[in-house]
Amino acid sequence: MARAELLYSELGVKNCKDLLHLFPFRYIDKTQFYKINSLQQNTAEVQIVGKITGLKTVEQKRGSRLVATFRDETGAIELVWFRGQKWLKDSLKINQPYVIYGKLNFYGGKFSMPHPEMELLKDYKSKIQSSMQPVYPSTEKLANKNVSNKVVRSYIEDLLSKIGYSIEESLPSYILQEHNLLGKRESLINIHFPKNQELLAKAQFRLKFEELFFIQMQLLRKKLIRKSKIKGFVFEKVGEQFNNFYTNYLPFELTNAQKRVLKEIRKDVASNAHMNRLLQGDVGSGKTIVALLAMLLAIDNGFQATIMAPTEILATQHYHAVTELLQEMNISVELLTGSVKTKKRREIHAALESGELNILIGTHALLEDKVKFKNLGIAIIDEQHRFGVEQRSKLWRKGGPSLTLPEGKGTEVRNRYETARPSVYKLMKELQKERKQKTTEAERVLWESLKTKKLDFKFRRQHIVDEFIVDFICISKGLIVEVDGKYHNTKEQQESDDLRTEILQELGFKVIRFKNEEVIGNIEQVINIISEELKEHTSENSLPSGGLGWALPPHILVMTATPIPRTLAMSVYGDLDISVIDELPPGRKEVKTVHRYDKNRLAVFKFLKDEIEKGRQVYVVYPLIQESEAMDYKDLMDGYESISREFPLPKYQISIVHGKMKPADKEYEMQRFVKGETQIMVATTVIEVGVNVPNASVMIIESAERFGLSQLHQLRGRVGRGAEQSYCILLSSFKLSADAKTRLKTMVDTSDGFKIAEVDLKLRGPGNLMGKQQSGVLNLKIADVVRDTPILFKARQTAIGVLQNDANLSKPENTVLQKTFAQIQRKTGFWSEIS
C-alpha cells in the first residue's frame, strides 16, 4: 500500500491503466553478453552470465560492504554492495547461474561492479524476452524508498503477463489499416519491452498518433457542439453606428486581412450560434480597429460590449485608442481598473446596469460581482493566456441573469429570468411539473437521501438546465446526477444519453449516471460515490451561463499579439475558430533590427543623439530592477545613471518606469514621455505591451540575451508606430549560449511574428510558450507537438474525416471509438469556456 501511494504521489500512477501508460523515456540495449576475460578498462555498462562462488563482509572505516566473487568460464570479478547487505546475504544463491548487469569499475588491477542488477538465469529466460530494457521516470523519493527502475519494470512485466491478452483495441480497424498502425496490445508490449528498434518505432508512432487523435477529437467535437448546441445572440443588422464610423471616422483604409477577419466575425455573430474566435495578429497589425468594429455591431443591435486586458497599462491604452476613435460619435466608453476611485466606480456600475454605458474597458476589475451588464453582447479578451479558466468563465456569465437566483432577490430579477425565453421557459416548466409527478422508485429513494443534506450540499430535483430537465443537480458544485431506468438500454437511448452528457459537460457540469438497480440495491454505495465526486469537482461558483431558460453568454473574441504557430494553435486552440491578420497597415515601415556588443556602446549612444536631434524619442529597456550578483547583467538603476551621464540635463530629459513604482508615479512618467517632454524612457519590461508613442523610433534592449524571443518581439513592437524609419538595437555581452545566439539572429533576420514563434516553440517547447498551462491539453504522455508535428497533422485530418462522416460516432464501425471517447470524457469533463 505504501508503494502504491508513493507511485501515485510521485508519478501519478493510480491504477493498472496508469501503470501501462507510464512509458519509458529511454532504453538500454542488452543484446550482447560479455565474457569476463574480454572486459575493457572503461566505465561501460555490461551484461554477464555466471555464478556467485563466494560471499564475504568487509569492514570499513564507516560501516561495511558486502563482496561477492562472480565467475564465468573465463575469469572472475567482484560484485560490491554498500546498502541492503543483510537482505542480500540471505537471498543470494551460491553456485546458481545469474544474469548480472551494471557499470564496471577497474581499480588495483581488478574489475568490480557496484550494486549490479541481478536475476537468476531461469527467471530471466521465463520472462518477456526483450533485448532493449526500458528505463522509467523516477524521483529522489522513489529511489530512497527502494522503488527502483527494476521494481517498476517488474510491476509492468507482471501486469502485461496477466492482462496482456485482455487489452482492448481503442481505434477502429479502418484507421489502423489507413495508417498501417500496430494494434493496441502489440504497441503496449513493444513500448515497454521492444523486440527490436523497428517494433519500438512502430509502437511509439501508434501511441503518439492515438494520443494526438483523441485530443483532436475532443477539441473538434467540442467545437461542433458549441456551434450546433450553444446558442448565441443574433446581431441581425449592420446599423447606423457601424456604418457612420466606417464611412466617416475610420482613420485609414482597412487591409485585406482586416476585411477578411471582419467578414468572418460578422458571419459568426449573424448566425444563431455562439462565437468563440481567436484573433491573432502581429504587433501593430491593427487588431484593435477590428475589435472596435465588432463592438459597434453589438451596439447597433442593442447590446453592450467590453474589452478585458491583463494589465492596467494595456487597458488604459485600449481606452485611449477607443475614445479617440469614437470622440465624434455619441457612444459612451468607460475605463474600470483597480485605480478607479469608489465614487467613479459607482457611476460606472449604475450606467452599466441601466444600459447607458455602451463599452466598458478594464482589467480583472471587470470580473467583480458588482459589475453587472444590462445586456452584454460581446466580450473581447486581450492576451487571454494571462487569464485563468475560472476568470474567463466569470466573463461568460456577465451576459445576463445567472443560472440560479439567490433566495429573496426580488420579483423584478426573477421576472427577467423567467421571461428571457418566455415560450420555451413556459413549456419547460410544464414538463418539469409533469416529471416531478412521475418519478420512479429509484429516483424517490435517491431523493430521500439527497434532500436531507447529508452530503453538506443542496440538491434540486427535476431542474431545468439548457434544453434538458435533469434528475438531480448540486448547483454550487456543478454536479448532475441522473438515474437510468428501463428505457435506457437501447442503443439509440444510450447514444442520446452520451450526447446529452457531452452537452451538459460543455456547459461546465460534471455528470454521473446510475442504473435503477444500483440505487435500489445499494443506496449507501451510490451516496458514497456522489460524495467523492463532490470532493473532486471544484467548479464551485464558476458555472458558465448559457442556453435555454436563462440569458445567453456573450460572443467571445480572443486577441493575442503573440502569433501562435499552427502546430500549437491546433493543439491548444483547436476548438476555437481562428482568424489571422497577416499584413501590416499601409505606410508602416519594417523596424530595422541589429545586434551589437557592449563594446559598441559609444557608437550606439552617438546614433541615439542623432535620432533625438531629428526630434525622435528612445526606449532603453533593462531586464532587472536591482543588481543581481548571480547574473552579470546591466541593471536598471546602474543603466539610468550611465544614461544620465551621457545625456545630461538640461539638453536631455529622461523618464524612468519600472514595476515597483506606484501607479500614479508610473502614469506621470509615462505621460511625460507620451507628451514629448522627455526624449528617453529607461524602463523594465512593464512597457512590453500597452505603450503607444508613434514618435518613438529607437528601442535599445540591454542584455538582450536575457530575454525570450516573445518578449524581444513584443518590445520591438513598441517602435515603428509612426511614419518614420524605426530601429531596434539588441545589446549583449560576448558570452552567449547557443540558444541566445539563435534568438538574437532570429530577431535580426525576420520581423515575421509567426516565424519567430516557430523558432521559440522549437527552443522552449509548448509548455513555456504559452506560460502556465491552463487546459491540460498539452499534458502529453508520449507525444510532443513540436517533434511530432507530422503525426499531429495526420491525427487531426483523420479526426476531421471521422466526424464529417459520423458526428455522433453512432455507426457500427465507430463503436470502439464511441466507447473510448466516452471513457475519456468521463475522466476529463472538458470545460466549455474560452479555450
Q: Cell numbers at residue 319, please?
A: 481606452
From the number of C-beta atoms within 10 Å of its C-beta (0-12, 13-18, 19+), residue 14 rates as: exposed
Residue 831, pLDDT score: 37
With cut-offs at 50, 70 and 90, classify the pLDDT of residue 408: very low
CATH topology of domain 240-407+550-581: Rossmann fold (3.40.50)
Residue 701 to residues 589, 601, 692, 715, 787, Cα–Cα distance (Å): 20, 12, 17, 8, 31
> What's the CA gap between 326 and 250, in Å, rounded?
10
Which range, 46-50, 510-514, 626-630, 760-764, has the best average confidence (pLDDT)?
46-50
> What's the CA gap between 204 and 134, in Å, rounded?
13
With cut-offs at 50, 70 and 90, classify the pLDDT of residue 528: confident
Q: Would you say 105 and 112 are in contact if contact means Cβ atoms under 8 Å apart? A: yes
Residue 70, pLDDT score: 96
Express each pLDDT in 176-235 by its tens digit.
999 999 999 999 999 998 887 788 889 999 999 999 999 888 888 877 776 666 678 889
Residues in CB range of 636: below 8 A, 6 or more apart: 622, 624, 625, 626, 656, 658, 682, 683, 684
- Give the ranges where 765-834 is alpha helix by DSSP (H): 766-769, 789-805, 815-828
- CATH, domain 414-536, list 3.30.300.30, 3.40.960.10, 1.10.1200.10, 1.20.1420.30: 3.40.960.10
Mind giving me the DSSP string for 404-450? S--TT--HHHHHHHHTSSHHHHHHHHHHHHHHHHT--HHHHHHHHHH
Residue 382, pLDDT score: 86
Architecture of domain 592-750: 3-Layer(aba) Sandwich (3.40)
Asked if residue 574 has pLDDT above 80, the reply is no
Residue 394, pLDDT score: 65
Express each pLDDT in 338-374 by its tens digit.
889 999 999 999 999 999 999 999 998 888 888 989 8
Residue 579, pLDDT score: 86
> What's the CA gap between 455 and 481, in Å, rounded?
14
Residue 640, pLDDT score: 86
Higher pLDDT, 628 or 13: 13
Asked if residue 538 has pLDDT above 80, the reply is no
- Give the ranges where 169-252 is alpha helix by DSSP (H): 173-178, 184-192, 197-229, 240-244
* Domain limits, the chain: 2-165, 240-407+550-581, 414-536, 592-750
The chain-wide mean pLDDT, for the chain, equals: 81
Higher pLDDT, 42 or 830: 42
Task: Evaluate the omega torsion of the peptide bond into residue 650 and state whether it is cis, within 30 degrees of 0.
Answer: yes
The total of other beta-carbon atoms located within 10 Å of residue 385's CB is 20
> What's the CA gap between 398 and 101, in Å, rounded?
64
CATH fold match for the domains 240-407+550-581 and 592-750: yes
Average pLDDT over residues 322-345: 92
Q: Would you say 701 and 729 are in contact if contact means Cβ atoms under 8 Å apart? A: yes
- Choose among 72, 60, 59: nearest CA to 33: 72
> What's the CA gap between 382 and 292, in Å, rounded?
13
Which range, 66-75, 79-88, 547-556, 749-758, has the best average confidence (pLDDT)?
66-75
Mind giving me the DSSP string for 562-595? S---HHHHHHHSTTSEEEEE-SPPTTPPPPEEEE
Residue 748, pLDDT score: 95
What angle (nearest 5°) sits at the alpha carbon of residue 161, between those of residues 159 and 163? 65
CATH of domain 2-165: 2.40.50.140
Q: What is the DSSP letter of 353?
A: H
Residue 453, pLDDT score: 62
Express each pLDDT in 38-73 by its tens digit.
887 766 678 899 999 999 998 888 888 899 999 999
**Within 13 Å, how many C-alpha atoms sit on residue 329's CB side?**
23
Q: What is the DSSP letter of 37?
A: G
Residue 533, pLDDT score: 81
With cut-offs at 50, 70 and 90, classify the pLDDT of residue 413: very low
Express each pLDDT in 771-785 by its tens digit.
333 333 456 788 877
Altogether, the residues listed in the chain come to a count of 835
pTM for the model stands at: 0.61
Q: Cell numbers at residue 175, please?
A: 484507421
